[in-house]
Amino acid sequence: MRKALVLALIVLAGILAGPVSVKAQSVADVVTPNFFNGILNQADASCAGKNFYSRDAFLQAVNSFPQFGTADDIRREVAAFFAHVTHETGHFCYIEEINGANGDYCDETNTQYPCNPDKDYYGRGPIQLSWNFNYGPAGQSIGFDGLNSPETVATDPVISFKTAVWYWVNFVQPVISQGFGATIRAINGALECNGGNPATVQARINYYTDYCNQLGVDPGPNLTC
């Protein structure tokens, strides 16, 4: 009888106190060494990014952007971010866009962030940051001269990851609740969505669903764009 009374009192105390608070997962909890290295280890030993990208550099970058990982489900957001990074860099193989220097990534009409004629603004880093109108504000936010020293994104791994996270929280995270397809559109929709490059879209989706499976989260609806 006494045991039953004690149990009843414990239950009542729990009800009065409300639900027990459970600490939310952090980005570091989700992006474990096994998860990160599982991507990196698929890059060939000769890849430039093999000794450039690291989990430590990523976590240092994320520390500057506390809003990263605050979408509906941190695991789903991490899966989406790394799906795009995997596709853009070939499992962290590439730091710079292949033949990027042969392209013209200067928008001369953008007077707020004018191009330095001696610099190129092709894709660099985990998200392959491109164009002067991205390098300029990214540099201002992060603390490097994006217009006059865009190559910093390919030489400093922490800044490199910061540019990726900067782009993510400003242009991708706001649409992530619409599904993974919306994140594709935010990153490269003009070239890939609406039938532009269905094979590339599917490749991104495949990475995303794989990472969702690894992290134990449902990919959700609206995967394609």
Q: 17 is written with which tokens? A: 């106190």
Residue located via tokens 């042969």: 102
φ, ψ dihedrals at 213, nearest 5°: -60, -45
Catalytic residue among 88, 96, 97, 192: 88
Active-site residue flag, 96:
no
- Active-site residue numbers? 88
